[in-house]
Chains A and B, each alone.
Chain A
Amino acid sequence: MKLRNIGKLLLLSGITSIFIIAVTSVIDAQTTKTTKDDIWNKFREDKKRIGRTDKEIKDTMKKIVDDLKKKNMKFKVELNEMMKYKISEITGTKPPSEDELKKKEEERRRKEELEKEKAEKRKRDELRRQEEERKKREEEINREKDRKRKEELKRKEEARRKQEEKKRNEDAKKAEMNDRNIPLDLAPSGSASAFFLNGSKTSTLVKYQGICGSCWAFTSAAVYETGYLLKNEVVLDVSEQSILDCAVDKSGNDAGSCDGGWYGGVFDYLTAKGARLEKDDPYKGKSGFCSSSAPTKYKVIKWGYIRRNAGTPSVKEMKEAIAKYGAIAATVKVTPAFQAYKSGIFDEHASVSGPNDVNHAITIVGWDDTKKAYLVKNSWGPGWGEKGYIWVEYGCNNIGYGAAWVIVTAE
């Protein structure tokens, strides 16, 4: 009795479900314009296809209960919702066949292979990408290297070009300086109204010859020192004693003694042997034996007279020579008035017997057209004249006779 009620309930609920499905179908039919008959037919077909009849349910349940008893199984059973459906309708599980398994396995394998191939392809692609990136980076690095190499080459080329230019300039300057002591860019114009070489950077100390007639040696030394200072920016103190004792002209004749001499012979000697320094052979104020005639680096490259005949150059010629060579060796006629000079412009114009009537070697170191005079460095110490210098009017006392220039070596 109880089972019957349960069965009725189940059937009722099943029918209800079918009705809901049918209603849903009706709604669907409305949307697809199906007829009422179509719906009912469909409902009946579905019920028949999926459901069990009451008898079938009863038989099935009875068989189950019998089996329980027969097999002494320990679980309990009762009618439930699922009993109204055929087993086939509520269990979808169908163990696959061997072929299906093989087929699936094959599919899986193919899929795996495909995945593997894809993975490999991805890997290959990644590797290719990485390789491309590497190549790209390498190319970039190479490009950078190339750029840097080109820049370096350019820089080196520029440096080489500059070096060559510098060398050319130096060579040109050297060649130019082989022919002068004052660099062209520093030299005054010969038409300049004034130019002096008596400053600390352009002249050396005024020296004192004493009672020895060695003015020619002092003039030689002063001319060399000034030229060397102008050319090399190095202050030298040339040994007058060495010149006094050792200097011989190119014919081997003594350049002079305390009884007088000539700077031309000294310049010959300095060309051949070079000058010694004061510290090595200090001045004694009298002639002596030559202590050393070993060659030195302080040589004269070239020397010459401004006038070929060693005569007195014009003021213009003298100025041009000073502008080019610096100090100029020359002579003048010294008189008591000259000795007594203290300051101003010396314009004695003493009577002379001729242009070569001179008795004293001096160093001409400048000019001043406003004074119409040369600036002369003497060798009677800084206590004489204007701190050892004198302004001698152009043409006065045969000033400038035998004027000579020297070109000194470069360091």
Chain B
Amino acid sequence: MSRFNIIFAALLSVFLVNGCTEKPVLVVQAVPGEQSIAAKAGKSFSIQLKGQMSTGYSWKLSELPASFEIIKEDVKTLEKDIAGGEDIQQFIYRSAQKGDFILTFRYAEHWKKKPKYVKTATVKVRIE
């Protein structure tokens, strides 16, 4: 899990797309800590966080801003033919309202009644 202690990865790419079934306009591969992204109003953007779903731990958004719409959440497994390896949790959102928002993701065993957060990732989102 040491990889989650390194600094945030850089913003990789920004794409323009329309509709929720297509690729999001913005993809952020985030790691614990803080980072910022900017997205267009009404356009979907993706935040990707590395984790290990097989541990029972996962990333979860603590609070969804009122103007935000969840387009999709899924898990991509990076390595095949291995169990317990890294996954990427992808959160795709869209907001029609402009402004600055903070999305806080926590890594924990969320199925527990009182989960202990072992990592936190904060993404400042500017909707333009």
Interface centre among A258, A262, A339, A380 (most CB of B within 10 A): A339
- Size bracket, chain A contacts: 35 or more
Interface string of B64-79 (1 = CB under 8 A from A): 0000000001111101
Closest to A385 in B: B111
Q: How far is the CB of A13 from chain B (nearest CB, A)?
A: 155
Contacts of B83 in A (CB 8 A): 215-216, 219, 256, 260-263, 331, 358-361, 402
Contact call A336/B79, Cβ cutoff below 8 A: no
Contact call A380/B56, Cβ cutoff below 8 A: yes
Contact call A350/B74, Cβ cutoff below 8 A: yes
Contact call A359/B81, Cβ cutoff below 8 A: no
Contacts of A384 in B (CB 8 A): 56, 111
| A73 at the binding interface (Cβ < 8 Å) | no
A335-B70 Cα distance, complex, nearest whole Å: 16
Contact call B77/A259, Cβ cutoff below 8 A: no
| B57 at the binding interface (Cβ < 8 Å) | yes
Closest to B74 in A: A351
* Of B5-13, B14-22, B27-35, B47-55, the one with at least 4 CB within 8 A of chain A: B47-55
| A226 at the binding interface (Cβ < 8 Å) | no
Q: How far is the CB of A259 from chain B (nearest CB, A)?
A: 6
Contacts of A358 in B (CB 8 A): 77, 83
Closest to B80 in A: A356
Contact call A360/B112, Cβ cutoff below 8 A: no
8 A Cβ contacts from A304-357 to B: 310, 331, 333-336, 338-342, 350-351, 353-354, 356-357
Contact call A259/B56, Cβ cutoff below 8 A: no
Given known A-B contacts A336-B73, A383-B112, A215 and B84 have beta carbons under 8 A apart: yes
Contacts of B54 in A (CB 8 A): 213, 215, 260, 334, 359-361
Contact call B75/A359, Cβ cutoff below 8 A: yes
Contact call A359/B111, Cβ cutoff below 8 A: no
A5-B54 Cα distance, complex, nearest whole Å: 167
Given known A-B contacts A216-B83, A260-B82, A339-B110, A359 and B57 have beta carbons under 8 A apart: no
Contact call A258/B1, Cβ cutoff below 8 A: yes
8 A Cβ contacts from A242-301 to B: 256, 258-263
Q: Count CB-based A-B contacts (< 8 Å).
A: 112
A216-B84 Cα distance, complex, nearest whole Å: 7
Closest to A259 in B: B85
Q: How far is the CB of B116 from chain A (nearest CB, A)?
A: 10
Partner of B86, one of A260, A336, A354: A260
| A212 at the binding interface (Cβ < 8 Å) | yes
A325-B91 Cα distance, complex, nearest whole Å: 41
Given known A-B contacts A333-B75, A336-B75, A340-B111, A260 and B80 have beta carbons under 8 A apart: no
| B46 at the binding interface (Cβ < 8 Å) | no
Contacts of B112 in A (CB 8 A): 383
Contact call A261/B73, Cβ cutoff below 8 A: no
A402-B80 Cα distance, complex, nearest whole Å: 11
| A203 at the binding interface (Cβ < 8 Å) | no
Closest to A219 in B: B83
Given known A-B contacts A212-B55, A359-B53, A359-B84, A334 and B75 have beta carbons under 8 A apart: yes
Contact call B1/A260, Cβ cutoff below 8 A: no
A322-B103 Cα distance, complex, nearest whole Å: 46
Q: How far is the CB of A223 from chain B (nearest CB, A)?
A: 13
Contact call A350/B57, Cβ cutoff below 8 A: no
Partner of A260, one of B76, B84, B110, B118: B84
Contacts of B58 in A (CB 8 A): 336, 339
Contact call B110/A211, Cβ cutoff below 8 A: no
A402-B53 Cα distance, complex, nearest whole Å: 18
Q: How far is the CB of B67 from chain A (nearest CB, A)?
A: 23
Interface centre among A216, A338, A341, A360 (most CB of B within 10 A): A360
Q: How far is the CB of B114 from chain A (nearest CB, A)?
A: 11
Partner of B84, one of A213, A341, A342, A402: A213
A258-B80 Cα distance, complex, nearest whole Å: 16
| A181 at the binding interface (Cβ < 8 Å) | no
A338-B75 Cα distance, complex, nearest whole Å: 11
Contact call A260/B79, Cβ cutoff below 8 A: yes
Q: Can you report 13 residue pairs joining A to B where beta carbons are below 8 Å apart?
A: A209-B55, A210-B55, A211-B57, A219-B83, A260-B54, A262-B82, A336-B58, A336-B110, A340-B110, A341-B111, A360-B83, A384-B56, A384-B111
6 A-B pairs besides A210-B55, A260-B52, A359-B53 with CB distance below 8 A are A209-B55, A213-B54, A260-B86, A336-B53, A339-B110, A350-B75
Smallest CB-CB A-B distances: 5 pairs: A260-B85, A213-B84, A361-B83, A360-B54, A260-B84
